[in-house]
Amino acid sequence: MNEIEERGTPRRYYFVQLVKYLNQLIFYFKAFNFSQLQYNKNEEIRFRSTTFLAIYLSVIEKQSIHWVIINVLQRVGSNRNQEFVKKLQQVKVSTLSTLLEPYSSIEQLSLRYAHPQFMVEKLCSILPAAEVEKLLQSHNAQKYLYARISGFEADPIQIRKSFRQIGVPLKRPTEIPFAFQIWRRYIKKIVKSPPYLRGDIVLQDLASMHTCISMDPQPGDRILDACAAPLMKTSLLQFLSRGQSKTLSVELSPTRLQNSLKSPTLRATSSFLIADSTTLPFRDSPPKEIFDKVLLDAPCTSSGAIYYTPEMKWFQSAEYLRSHAILQQKLLQECLNYLKQGGILVYAVCSYYREEGEEIIASASNLIKIINTRRFYPHVDKCQGFFIAKLQKI
């Protein structure tokens, strides 16, 4: 990809794109029998990656065959280039709809929008087919990022002025007055901007912000933030309570916690603990370890995070879902043990699956009252997929 990179597109961009469209590229590879052109078994990985790149550029980015020959095909091998180009031309003039005609509707959606069949089946059990199609499209065309003010002294007017000066327009979401919607294409300018480098703003997804807002942290609240890294929600909880709540952030991974502690937005009223939130180390502690509020943003399949991290789509499977649901039930039960009666627990996952959302809170129905639930979808809310439940311990 060196030649392409010299033209101004980073190598990582193409790596991400090949991952994003992986099953569609494999489909073309098999349908047009590119494997018969492989002349060196020792270079199978290189041959496939080069072929996938050539197909991607020709079909999805719609580059000319001549451009692809100049920038890519010299890596295939001169003795095979003529045959390779012939097959590539066949791919380019083909119609995916025609190729997919023999396949089921689930398989067609899976291949057309490059998502695993398991995930498409699950989504079709939740949403109408037309909605599923829009959702899958949104995963492949992520446009927006979100940022929020992180310091009490930060002036939103000055922040917007600073970004206008570097050519980055900001839009204020109507629901959150301290947040900004930003076009993804401006990300490089954002992370080099003075407000970002000073810590006046941080990048955080819109649905993630709503998780903390739904908790409504108040001065004096004793809050447990379970599974806390990268501490974005810890920081926002402190911001929302004007630094007057006391938050204990628990994280299993020492590395993740250590890296997260570098954030300039964390307040002195936050404390941190390396521990497993399925077995919290408070069993022999006095009643002071009972929390007023708990935030449980549980580890999940990240099916809703594909909006930002397309590689997660290829992890989706029945076993992957089952293992996370078991973990989530354990986390919820343990966190409820240390929530005072009448206290609030906000449960959240960046997942579309009911097994990680509604069914998890149903497993604790004898201990909780559901105050409200909300789902976010990227094609509707222009953010990542999320499930949020506000619960009260009874």
From the list 42, 43, 46, 36, the residue with the least C-alpha distance to 83 is 36
Give me the pLDDT at residue 285, please: 61
Give me the pLDDT at residue 7, please: 44
From the list 118, 107, 125, 106, the residue with the least C-alpha distance to 317 is 118
Give me the pLDDT at residue 85, please: 86
Give me the pLDDT at residue 9, please: 57
CA atoms in the 13 A half-sphere facing the CB of 175 = 10
Give me the pLDDT at residue 172, please: 86
Domains 144-203 and 206-393 share a fold: no
Give me the pLDDT at residue 356, please: 98
Q: Cα(33)–Cα(86) distance, rounded to whole angstroms? A: 12
Angle between helices 129-139 and 117-124 (to 10 degrees): 140
Q: Cα(143)–Cα(152) distance, rounded to whole angstroms? A: 29
Give me the pLDDT at residue 112, please: 96
Q: Cα(271)–Cα(128) distance, rounded to whole angstroms? A: 45
Give me the pLDDT at residue 173, please: 82
* Superfamily (CATH H level) for 144-203: Sun protein; domain 3 (3.30.70.1170)
From the list 201, 261, 260, 213, the residue with the least C-alpha distance to 237 is 213
- Count of other CB atoms within 10 angstroms of residue 64: 11
Q: Cα(245)–Cα(267) distance, rounded to whole angstroms? A: 10
Give me the pLDDT at residue 69, please: 81
Q: Cα(219)–Cα(72) distance, rounded to whole angstroms? A: 60
pLDDT in tens, the chain (394 residues): 444 444 445 778 889 899 999 999 999 999 999 888 876 667 788 888 888 999 999 999 999 888 888 777 765 554 567 788 888 899 988 999 999 999 999 999 999 999 999 999 999 999 999 999 999 999 988 788 999 998 778 888 889 899 999 999 998 887 899 999 999 889 999 999 999 988 889 999 999 999 999 999 999 999 999 999 889 999 999 999 988 999 999 998 888 888 777 766 666 557 888 899 999 888 666 555 689 999 999 999 999 999 888 999 999 999 999 999 999 999 999 999 999 999 999 999 999 999 999 999 999 999 999 999 999 999 999 999 999 999 999 9
**pTM for this predicted structure:** 0.91
Sheet holding 144-149, edge to edge: 179-183, 144-149, 201-203
The label of the residue with tokens 């936050």 reads: 270
The alpha-helical segments, DSSP class H, found in the chain are 2-6, 11-20, 22-31, 44-55, 65-71, 81-93, 96-99, 105-112, 117-124, 129-139, 156-165, 187-191, 194-198, 206-215, 232-240, 254-260, 318-337, 358-362, 378-381
- Count of other CB atoms within 10 angstroms of residue 351: 28
Considering only the top CATH level, what class is 206-393? alpha beta
Query: Phi and psi dihedrals of 58, rounded to 5?
Result: -75, -45
179-183 and 368-376: which strand pairing?
A: unpaired
Residue 109 Cα distances to 28, 232, 304, 351, 382, angstroms: 15, 35, 17, 19, 21
* Domain chopping of the chain, boundaries: 2-99, 104-140, 144-203, 206-393
Q: Cα(81)–Cα(87) distance, rounded to whole angstroms? A: 10
